Structure formats: structure tokens, C-alpha cells
Amino acid sequence: MTSDVIPKPDYRPDIDGLRAIAVVAVVLYHAEFALNGLSLFQGGYFGVDVFFVISGFLITSLILSELARSGSFSFLQFYERRARRLLPALLVVILASMPFAWRLLVPSELKDFSH
């Protein structure tokens, strides 16, 4: 493990705008607004696709940045940085959700929650 820190790419407000569009598309899709039995918003899949494209772009940018900076790339270090960034938030969400799940969910839903 090295103490080298990969510099963050420049801030891109356009990517935040795309993220906002993707979030709105997914939220509206899951809200299941309907008129005369027809769903008004069917763009949830579009939002997910936009997230995947953004992720691919950002990950590729990080890889190319590291290759330009050091001349090499380590998948192990890459995934270690991702884990250090994402796992603490995941743990907080899981621990915060568990008491509510135990209190509010029926057994079949609790089994689904545990998966």
C-alpha cells in the first residue's frame, strides 16, 4: 500500500446536472404516477443507464489519470480506494436501517431485507 494520493479530476458541473436528471427519472419512475391506468413516467431505466455511463466515464478518467501520472495502474489499489470510500457509508446505512426493519417489517419482508 502506498501513500500516493491520486489527484481528483477537475469538478464537472455538467456531470452533476446529468446525475440530477438521472435521479429525477428514477424517482419519478418509482413514484408510479398513473393517469387512466397508464404510467406517466417510464424513464427509470434511462436514469439507471445514465448512472452507468457517468460511472464508466469517471472510472476511465481516474484510470487514465493514474496511468499518466505514474505510468502504471493497480486494480488492487483502485478497489482499495473504492472500498475505503464506499464501505463506511454502506455500513452506516445498514446499521441505521436495521432497527426500523426489525420494528416495521413483517417476517417475509424482513427475510427479503436480510438478503
Span 2-40, pLDDT tens digits? 545 555 667 888 999 999 999 988 888 888 887 887 777
What percentage of residues in the chain have a pLDDT greater than 70?
91
Half-sphere exposure at residue 33, Cβ-oriented, CA atoms within 13 angstroms: 10
Give 2-7 contacts, CB < 8 A, sequence gap 24+: 2/77, 4/70, 6/62, 6/65, 6/66, 6/69, 6/81, 7/65, 7/69
Span 54-69, pLDDT tens digits? 999 999 998 999 999 9
The Cα–Cα gap between 115 and 107 comes to: 13
Q: Which of 51, 41, 61, 63 is nearest to 18 (CA)?
A: 51
Domain boundaries in the chain?
8-73, 74-115
